[in-house]
Amino acid sequence: MKKNSIIAVVAVVLLIGAGVVYYLASRPAQEPMAAREDAGLAEQSAPGQSTDAAKPFEVQGTERETVAPPSQTAPAVGAVDRSGPAEGGLASAPSAEEQATSSRQAAHRNNTGQPSPAAQETQTQTEDSVVTLGFIDNLCAYIVERFFPPGAPPAQDEPVSTLTVKGLNAHYGVDFAGLSHASPEPETARKEVLDYVMAPLTVHALFQLYGDWFVESLVIAGENANKNFAKDGQSETRGLTPEETAEMLRIDGDKLRSWSNVLAAVVAQPELREQAGRYVRSANRVLAANAEFQQLLGRLRQAGGQKSDVEDNPRLRKAAQTLKQAITAREQARRRITDIARDECKQDCPDNDDILAIVQWAHRRLIAQSNALPALKAAAEEAASLAGKMQSRSRDLRTISGGEAS
């Protein structure tokens, strides 16, 4: 009896052990650990692990998760299932079906029967839970919509891109397409997104994650565009040809490189940052002085005085002088901003409106985000690199379409 009991106990232990082994063998491998921006690679924590220490480089979501900096030993992002809404970390890459579709489209575009190297590489990408692939799609559609090849009005004999920094800022200042945020209030949502992206490691990680994908998405968006062409009294609606797409990448790549030069100038020149503050203060004074002038003028006119009496009113003359001085100070700051930027950019500089828009945007970031200066430096570097990718893809498409690659 005792012997039978011992045999029974041993059998139970063996069964339990076999179950544990089976469980451990069948459970999925853990994802790589992620490094915080404020910690070395040796100080890492598993995704989703809570800690009392500060986490300046985090993916936003229901479950917050630290993200590894770009390196060859750690992924730029963690990964979660993309089958539902992202809840921290990055969602998985597009599905196999989506990847196959993109590959077929790329193969059709380059007429080689094979996807481009960039398209092949990007099929393994993952998705950030704040700056999603939906944002990339929306941005590409926005850019293509503002490109007009010859024959597509308003373009005539030369291609035209109406893409501007001011337009981009206005669009994404109110439309957060593809940008995940918790708050329903626009101002708070904008701050959430900007606080997230304005960190050097985040900037590098996002460009590393999406750079090649963005360029290929532009090509696909161009192919699928609906551009209206007019020739010899006939109209036609179609997508961009490879040669036209090459021109879009070349022109907008040039724009991006010139924008990156202005960002680099903001980082390199303290006076440029100082003049940006001066411009903003002067512009605010112009608004205030003009409001005071208009209000006083309205009251004087309502009082029924003669035109000459209104114009000679000492208070109105003083208000007009204050307004004039504010405008003069604003324009001086504007000219100094463009002069400094052009000295830094040399010949590769955007127009004055884009210079001013970039400097003003950078100034707002420097006020609102504590880590903005190194983030701007990272953005300047990555934007220049992305412009190079666009130019390289443009040359590939020109070669494929039989044009000359310069």
Q: What average pLDDT does range 60-81 have in this prediction?
A: 32
Please report the pLDDT score of residue 125 as a whole number: 53
CA distance 357 to 353: 6
Structural contact between residues 378 and 204, judged by C-beta atoms closer than 8 angstroms: yes
DSSP secondary structure, 164-216, as one string: -HHHHHHHHHH--TTB--S-SSHHHHHHHHHHHH-SHHHHHHHHHHHHHHHHH
Q: Give per-residue pLDDT as tens, 258-277.
A: 999 999 999 999 999 999 99
Q: Give per-residue pLDDT as tens, 137-146.
A: 999 999 999 9
- Tokens representing 145 are 């919509």
| Residue 36 pLDDT greater than 80, yes or no | no
Between 63 and 333, the higher pLDDT residue: 333
Longest CA–CA span in the chain (Å) reads 124
| Residue 2 pLDDT greater than 80, yes or no | no
CA distance 105 to 249: 18
Structural contact between residues 359 and 341, judged by C-beta atoms closer than 8 angstroms: yes
| Residue 12 pLDDT greater than 80, yes or no | no
| Residue 204 pLDDT greater than 60, yes or no | yes
pTM: 0.69
Q: What average pLDDT does range 361-374 have in this prediction?
A: 94
